[in-house]
Chain A
Amino acid sequence: MTDTKGQILGFVRDRYPQAEITESQDIFALGFVNSLFAMELVMFVEKTFGVTIPNDELRIDNFRTATSMSDLVTRLLAEPAVA
Chain B
Amino acid sequence: MTVTGVAPPAAAPPVPAAVTARVTDRRSARAFVDTHVAPYADAYDRAGRVPEELLRRVAEAGLWAPFLPPEAGGAGMDWVTLGEVHEEVGRGCSSLRSLLTVHTMAAWTVQRWGSSEQRERWAPAFAAGERLGAFCLSEPGAGSDTSGITTTAAESGGGWVLNGVKKWTTGGQRADVFLVFARTAASIGAFLVPRDTPGVEVRPIDDMLGTRASMLAEISFTDVVLDKDALLGPSGFTAGMVLTGTLDLGRYSVAAGSVGIVQACLEASAAYAASREVGGTPLAKLPLIQAKLSDMVTDARAARLLLAEAGRLKDAGEASTIMATWVAKYFASTAAARHASEAVQIHGANGCGTDYPVARYYRDAKVMEIIEGSNEIQRMTIAGQADREKTG
Taking beta carbons and an 8 Å cutoff, which residues of A are in contact with B? 11, 14-17, 34-36, 38-44, 46-47, 55-56, 58-60, 63, 82-83
Contact partner, A58, options B236, B248, B319, B322, Cβ 8 Å: B236
Q: Verify if B294 is at the interface (C-beta below 8 Å from A).
A: no
Contact partner, A39, options B115, B244, B317, Cβ 8 Å: B244
A36-B316 contact in complex given A14-B388, A55-B234, A58-B238, C-beta closer than 8 Å:
no
Residues of B within 8 A of A34 (CB): 240
Q: Are A35 and B243 in contact (CB under 8 A)?
A: yes
Q: Are A38 and B240 in contact (CB under 8 A)?
A: yes
Can you sample 13 A-B contacts with CB below 8 Å?
A: A36-B322, A40-B322, A43-B318, A43-B321, A47-B316, A47-B318, A47-B319, A55-B115, A59-B238, A60-B237, A63-B238, A82-B116, A83-B116
Contact partner, A47, options B116, B245, B248, B317, Cβ 8 Å: B317
Q: How far is the CB of A68 from chain B (nearest CB, A)?
A: 13
Q: Verify if B311 is at the interface (C-beta below 8 Å from A).
A: no
Residues of B within 8 A of A11 (CB): 319
Taking beta carbons and an 8 Å cutoff, which residues of B are in contact with A? 113, 115-116, 233-234, 236-238, 240-241, 243-245, 248, 316-322, 381, 388
Residues of B within 8 A of A46 (CB): 317
Q: Are B318 and A35 in contact (CB under 8 A)?
A: no
Q: How far is the CB of B182 from chain A (nearest CB, A)?
A: 15
Q: How far is the CB of B275 from chain A (nearest CB, A)?
A: 48
Q: Are A43 and B244 in contact (CB under 8 A)?
A: no
Contact partner, B388, options A17, A35, A36, A42, Cβ 8 Å: A17
Q: Are A39 and B236 in contact (CB under 8 A)?
A: no
- What CA separation (Å) do A27 and B307 show in the bound complex? 32
